[in-house]
Structure 1
Amino acid sequence: MQLPLFPLQIYLLPGGVSKLRIFEPRYTRLVKLAMASSDGFGLCMKDDTNLCHFGTRAIITDFEKLPDGLLGITVKGIEKFVINRHWKEDDGLRFGDITMLTNWTPADIKFVDRDISNSLKALFDEYPEHAAQYPIPDYNDMTWVCQRWLELLPLETNQKQWFMSRSDHRAALSFLHNVIDEQLKKDL
């Protein structure tokens, strides 16, 4: 599959939602291409000047004219992919030949994982502007909870890419237990 690529430092996983400002002509073209096709576009990270291997296919769910006159779009992550090869066209818009990866399977929350889910809920309660992007949060799906935490935490690009390469949420869950359980101990 070929998709136009939008390289950003935003880390968006399947089910994630983000708002983007569009101001460059090449990305206006990307929006037009994504709106004309049900395939959307590829959101991928950059490591210094190079594109990272893993990204997320995103679709545009809403758009608006921003107060500064620019185009604002709301995007939702659909599925992960790996970039096999990529190229840049004359206007600077990148395209990639990609292979879709299997999304993490939803997983019921276990009793021992409730602090991770509850901490995310507390964070969303504290920052309602972020929570507003998720009108129906799924705090009972550990996969959904792990993906939202990974999007929010200030991780290095290589760490984010490593988590994207995993076939399920277990590595992320183990990592989150280390981070959140340690913070909870400090708070006591």
Structure 2
Amino acid sequence: MQLPLFPLQLYLLPGGISKLRIFEPRYIRLVKLAMASGEGFGLCMKDGDALCHFGTRTIITDFERLSDGLLGITVQAVEKFVINDHWQEDDGLRFGDISPIKNWSPVTVKFADRGIAHSLQALFEEYPEHATNYPEPDFNDTTWVCQRWLELLPLETNQKQWFMSRNDHRAALSFLHNIIDEQLKEE
């Protein structure tokens, strides 16, 4: 599959939602292409000047004219992918030949993992700007909870890429237990 690519330091995993401001002509073109194809576009991180290996296919779910006259779009991540090849066109817009990666399967929160889900819920209550993107949060799905935590935590690019490459949520869950369980002990 070929997709236009939007390199940003935004880390978005399947189910993740974000708002973006679009002002460069190449990215206005990206929005037009994404809307016309129905396939969306590839959101991918950069490591220095190089594109990272993994990204997320996103679809545009809403758009608006912002108060400053710029285009605002709301995007939702659909699936992870690996970039097989990429190139840049004359206007600077990048494209990639990508292969989808299977999304992590939903998993009901187990008793031992409730602290992680409750901590995310508390964070959403304390910082409603995060919660506004998720009118129907799924705090009962361990995968959903892990993905939202990974999006919010200040991780290095290589760490984020490593989690994207995993086949399921287990590495993320173990990582989150180490961080959150330790934090809960300190409180």
Identity within the alignment, %? 79
Map of 2:16 onto structure 1: 16
Letter in 1 for 2:126: E
Map of 2:45 onto structure 1: 45
Pairing 1:161-180 to 2, within 5 Å after superposition: 161-180=161-180
Cα shift at 1:182: 0.8
Map of 1:108 onto structure 2: 108
Secondary structure, counterpart of 2:15 in structure 1:
coil
Cα shift at 1:128: 1.3
Structure 1 CA distance for aligned equivalents of residues 18 and 164 of structure 2: 17
Structure 2 CA distance for aligned equivalents of residues 169 and 31 of structure 1: 31
TM-score, scaled relative to structure 1: 0.99
Pairing 1:41-120 to 2, within 5 Å after superposition: 41-120=41-120
Q: Segments of 4+ in structure 1 off by > 4 A?
A: none
Structure 2 CA distance for aligned equivalents of residues 180 and 50 of structure 1: 32
Secondary structure, counterpart of 1:62 in structure 2:
strand
Letter in 1 for 2:123: L
Letter in 2 for 1:179: I
Structure 1 CA distance for aligned equivalents of residues 157 and 129 of structure 2: 25
Letter in 1 for 2:119: S
Secondary structure, counterpart of 2:124 in structure 1:
helix
Cα shift at 1:37: 1.2
Map of 1:144 onto structure 2: 144
Letter in 2 for 1:101: I
Letter in 1 for 2:28: T
Structure 2 CA distance for aligned equivalents of residues 178 and 129 of structure 1: 26
1:25 has 2:22 as partner? no
Cα shift at 1:95: 0.1
Letter in 2 for 1:66: L
**Deviation readout 1:56-85 (Å, 9 max, x if unpaired):** 000000001111110000000000000000
1:181 has 2:184 as partner? no
**Deviation readout 1:121-143 (Å, 9 max, x if unpaired):** 00001111210111110000000
Structure 2 CA distance for aligned equivalents of residues 183 and 48 of structure 1: 32
Structure 2 CA distance for aligned equivalents of residues 176 and 151 of structure 1: 12
Letter in 2 for 1:94: R
Q: Between Structure 1 and Structure 2, how many residues are aligned?
A: 187
Letter in 1 for 2:51: L
Structure 2 CA distance for aligned equivalents of residues 177 and 38 of structure 1: 38
What residue ranges of structure 1 are gaps of 5+ in the alignment? none
Structure 1 CA distance for aligned equivalents of residues 70 and 177 of structure 2: 40
Cα shift at 1:112: 0.3
What residue ranges of structure 2 are gaps of 5+ in the alignment? none
Structure 2 CA distance for aligned equivalents of residues 61 and 25 of structure 1: 20
Structure 2 CA distance for aligned equivalents of residues 146 and 131 of structure 1: 15
Cα shift at 1:169: 0.2
Structure 2 CA distance for aligned equivalents of residues 103 and 38 of structure 1: 19
Map of 2:135 onto structure 1: 135
